[in-house]
Structure 1
Amino acid sequence: MQWTAREYTRAEAATLAGMPEGSLDSLIHHARDVATLFSEKRKGRRFFSLRDIAVLRVAHEFVHGGRDWLVAIGIAYDRLEHPPPPDALIVAPAVIRRGCGPPIITTTPPDAFDRSTIVVPVGRIVADIIRRAA
């Protein structure tokens, strides 16, 4: 199992991400302009790596938290260069405004929040994808 080897079909990617194929298709369609960040087309078929699947699944969480799809893809892509530890979290301000800072990846959430925050259990999500792929 290699993190960046694009060897999984669309159906396998949907299964590994824990979502229906139609949902995966919808995610891909909404981000088709940046599809090279999370997939590769070969002979008309789309292939994914474990990283790609994790990027799509984590971005899906950020979209449900109110982020724009392209912003969500960027957040996930930038923070998933390598598999995170199983207890890793991505902590991001719910509203983007000056001085809030970028989303961070951490294993220890802040003791207190001073603003609305999105917390995504990225380590648990990636561990589940890797477990399903084994």
Structure 2
Amino acid sequence: MAEWTDRAFTVAEAAAMSGLNRAHLDVIVSRARSCDVLFSERRNGRRWFSPKDITVLRLAHEIERAGQTWLTALARAFHHLDQPPPIDAVLMFSTKSVSYRSGRVISGLHGQAPSGSMAVIPIGLMAAEILHYVEQEAA
């Protein structure tokens, strides 16, 4: 099985694992060509992704849909995914925030009341789905 940071998956596999259309993933990658080292590697003329990279791209896509710019979304996703999060973890951030460091990963939402408009994204479930797909491919 591939580890969290092992870049062993092609663009087609990354698209399948992330749930994004292959053409959409190509557009996403081309929009961030200046910082593509955060989520992929070019080797022998091909682009390779790790489970972490795929999760970063999927999360960044969701963050952008919540109203953030693409680069802020990518930075925020990368910042919060050093390790696979617990399956019940969610990323909460203010929809008014523009800093990639804002937001927090919360696991076990006991009494966590937001103080304003917040985006809540289930990053633990996203990562678990991608890691499950990786395990199925390895079997």
* TM-score, with structure 2 as normaliser: 0.90
Instruction: Give the letter for the 2:105 counterpart.
Output: I
Instruction: Give the letter for the 1:76 counterpart.
Output: A
Number of residue pairs aligned between Structure 1 and Structure 2: 132
Q: What residue is the counterpart of 2:77 in the other structure? A: 76
Cα distance change on mapping 1:66 and 1:97 into 2, 3 Å: closer
RMSD value over aligned CA atoms? 1.6
Q: What residue is the counterpart of 2:116 in the other structure? A: 115
Instruction: Give the letter for the 1:55 counterpart.
Output: V
Q: Distance in 2 between matches of 1:57 and 1:103?
A: 17
Q: Note if 1:67 corresponds to 2:99.
A: no
Superposed, which structure 2 residues align to 1:2-81 within 5 Å?
2-81=3-82
In the TM superposition, what is the alpha-carbon distance from 1:12 to its structure 2 partner?
0.4
Q: What residue is the counterpart of 2:91 in the other structure? A: 90
Instruction: Give the letter for the 1:8 counterpart.
Output: F
In the TM superposition, what is the alpha-carbon distance from 1:96 to its structure 2 partner?
1.6
Identity %: 37
Q: Distance in 1 between matches of 2:93 and 2:19?
A: 23
- CA deviations on 1:47-92 (whole Å, 9 max, x unpaired) are 0000000000000000000001111111110110100000000010
Q: What residue is the counterpart of 1:103 in the other structure? A: 103
* TM-score, with structure 1 as normaliser: 0.93
Q: Distance in 2 between matches of 1:79 and 1:20?
A: 24
In the TM superposition, what is the alpha-carbon distance from 1:111 to its structure 2 partner?
3.6
